[in-house]
Amino acid sequence: MSARTKGTASFSRRQFLKLSAATAGGAALVGCQFVPATASGESIDPAKVPGILIDLTRCVGCGNCQRSCIAANDLHPSQEELSTLSADTYTYVQRYDLPGGKTRFVKRQCMQCLYPACVSACTVGALHQTADGVVAVDARKCIGCRYCQYACPFNVPKFQWDSALGLVRKCQFCLGRLAQGQGPACADNCPSGALKYGLRGDLLQEAHGRIAAHPEVYVDLIYGETEVGGTSCLYISDVPFDQLGFPKLGTDPAPHYAESMMKRTPTIAVSVAAVATGIYSVLRWRSDHGHVEIDVREEK
């Protein structure tokens, strides 16, 4: 529109348009270098991500996972915090007394999404996915804005409310232990065999195997195989998952919706600047060439 406008001011307008396009493009390019390449999970091999298979039929609710988590991560939870996720409780075991006298224990922790919404939402990129696919928080970057708490479909990230300088914290899959060739503290210290640490692909195979071997026991679903694009913490159970507080989620990656808009940012910026420049140029040209501008000054 503006490119065709021939008028007194069109040269400088066109220059300005080019400049704004170049600025937006340049900013996008510069910015890309700061974004971890795996921000939305695209370059992660879902089969090679470290994960945990949680078999709810085998959990006896001993709480050893929580105790070893607290020790491994040097956490200092209060008594009440032990029965919930908090900035000092990265995992806990939730007890369900079901009709018919059945009791089941469900270990909660970060689900380690393949497409983590918290990472996508994080204002400063403090939440990130490591090259291995583990979702972790960089405590040096976090500003405590708490947007991740709204983005997470599992309600996992927790804030340090008691601290004057509070940050968001959550399970980071014991990154330090992983680097030393160990598994996460919770999985390594599970005495009942309810937790199994391994690569996600292998764990899925194992889970399918257990369900196939005992179809009369297990619900035919691996929670986390497809939920919000897949998670590295996988659950199998003999009780339907909706009775155990698992949210019913779609298979679309959770950050998909906002990211589809965010990636249009440069286009929107350039389009708006171009249209505004065009409108101005046309109106300016019309008034400079004696066209009557709409002016209601006379109306009273």
User: 263-282: which residues touch other proteins (CB under 8 A)?
Assistant: 265, 268-269, 272-273, 276-277, 279-280
14 binds other proteins (CB under 8 A): no
Dihedral sign, CA of 165, 168, 174, 178? negative
For 233, list phi and psi in degrees, rounded to 5: -95, 120
113 binds other proteins (CB under 8 A): no
Taking residue 105's Cβ as centre, other Cβ atoms within 10 Å add up to: 18
For 185, list phi and psi in degrees, rounded to 5: -55, -40
Task: Name the residue type at position 105.
Answer: F
Closest CA to 112 of 240, 198, 232, 14: 232
Q: What angle do CA 187, 193, 199 make, to 5 degrees?
A: 50
What part of residues 229-268 is at the interface with other proteins (CB under 8 A)? 247, 249-250, 254-255, 257-259, 261-262, 265, 268
110 binds other proteins (CB under 8 A): no
In whole angstroms, how close is the CB of 215 to other proteins at the nearest point?
30
The interface mask with other proteins, positions 27-66, x = CB under 8 A, is -x--xx-xx---xx--------------------------
What part of residues 135-194 is at the interface with other proteins (CB under 8 A)? 141-147, 149-151, 153, 155, 158-168
In whole angstroms, how close is the CB of 240 to other proteins at the nearest point?
19
In whole angstroms, how close is the CB of 50 to other proteins at the nearest point?
23
3 binds other proteins (CB under 8 A): no
What is the Cα–Cα distance from 63 to 182, expressed in whole angstroms?
20
DSSP β-ladder status, 233-236 and 50-55: parallel
